[in-house]
Amino acid sequence: MENDPAVFSFTQIAHIETGFVEKFGIPRQSGLAPDTIGRIVFEPEFRHPDAIKGIEEYDYLWLLFIFSENVREKWNATVTPPKLGGKERRGVFATRSPFRPNPIGLSCVRLEKVTADEKYGQTLIVSGADLLNGTPIVDIKPYIPYADSHPGVRGGFGESLSDRKFRVIFPDELKELIPAEYRNAVVQILEQDPRPAFIHDEERVWGVFYYDYNIRFTVYGDVITVCGVENRK
């Protein structure tokens, strides 16, 4: 007789503030856009400074978070990973799809610094995050190189496309419409080609939001050309 599945509950310990205000354009894995900056703000119950004592000794952190925009009552055994064109199916546990039995995500980010905020207490400034602004975080663990790094191992179906980057043409007059501290991050986001892999419309003008800026672009072959920048404010 099989045991009944256990039911667990989690408490949100923090949330992250990022420039990703919508799901489209978020890098598909952490670290692909290393110049994106996020701030982890702890919930009041977890703002005790001793809770992160010693965290500055680590360069990277694991974030366990909730796919809060993808919570569903039912789950499917197979999903369609975007890297496979959205048509070929893989087992949900053989992918990092956000559509899972439990909507838990895992992201490895670089810890840039610990800051003291008058309102929020100590916060963590991180880079390379692939999380939507406001994403709930349920745990933070240090990245330990001797245990977490496994060079030379197989990386599944995504490995063959892991090094592919698109060339980005970003005219200076448009780039200057974005604050200097965001420019590298925007280019890194576009280099990953935010579009669904199964759409190849060279006439279409796309738009990706980063903070208050809507960056408009077209794609021809493996070249992305920025054609407009709109400030929503």
CA atoms lying within 13 Å on the CB side of residue 166? 23
Q: Quickly state the pLDDT bin for 182 (edges 50, 70, 90).
A: very high
Cβ-Cβ contacts under 8 Å for 90 (sequence gap 6 or more): 78, 79, 80, 81, 84, 157
CA distance 188 to 27: 9
User: Amino acid letter at 52?
Assistant: I
User: Which is higher by pLDDT, 81 or 10?
Assistant: 10
CB 189 within 8 A of CB 29: no
Q: Quickly state the pLDDT bin for 158 (edges 50, 70, 90).
A: low
Question: Which strand (E) or helix (H) includes residue 139?
Answer: strand 136-142
- CATH match for 14-68+103-148 among 3.40.228.10, 2.40.30.70, 3.40.50.300, 1.10.8.50: 2.40.30.70
Phi first, then psi, for residue 42 (nearest 5°) are -80, 145
Which pLDDT score is estimated for 125?
Answer: 98
CATH fold, domain 158-231, is YaeB-like fold (3.30.2310)
Average pLDDT over residues 134-146: 97
Which pLDDT score is estimated for 54?
Answer: 97
Task: Output the DSSP codes for 15-49.
Answer: EEE-S--SSTT--SSTTSSTT-EEEEEE-GGG--G
Phi first, then psi, for residue 171 (nearest 5°) are -55, 140
Nearest to 24 by CA among 228, 230, 229, 216: 216
User: What are the structural domain ranges in the chain?
Assistant: 14-68+103-148, 158-231
**Cα–Cα–Cα angle for 214, 185, 163, nearest 5°?**
115
Which pLDDT score is estimated for 13?
Answer: 98
CB 30 within 8 A of CB 109: yes
Residue 161 has pLDDT above 70, yes or no: no
User: Amino acid letter at 17?
Assistant: E
What are residue 35's DSSP bridge partners? none
Average pLDDT over residues 212-225: 95
Average pLDDT over residues 45-66: 96
CA distance 140 to 79: 27
Question: Which strand (E) or helix (H) includes residue 190?
Answer: helix 180-191
Per-residue pLDDT tens over the stretch 67-111: 987 667 788 898 887 776 667 888 989 888 888 889 999 999 999
Share of the chain above pLDDT 90, in %: 65
Which pLDDT score is estimated for 152?
Answer: 87
User: Amino acid letter at 158?
Assistant: G
Whether 14-68+103-148 and 158-231 share one fold: the answer is no
CB 189 within 8 A of CB 33: yes
Residue 163 has pLDDT above 80, yes or no: no
CA distance 225 to 217: 5
- 223: exposed, middle or buried (Cβ count in 10 Å: 0-12, 13-18, 19+): exposed
Nearest to 61 by CA among 120, 148, 146: 148
CB 122 within 8 A of CB 114: yes
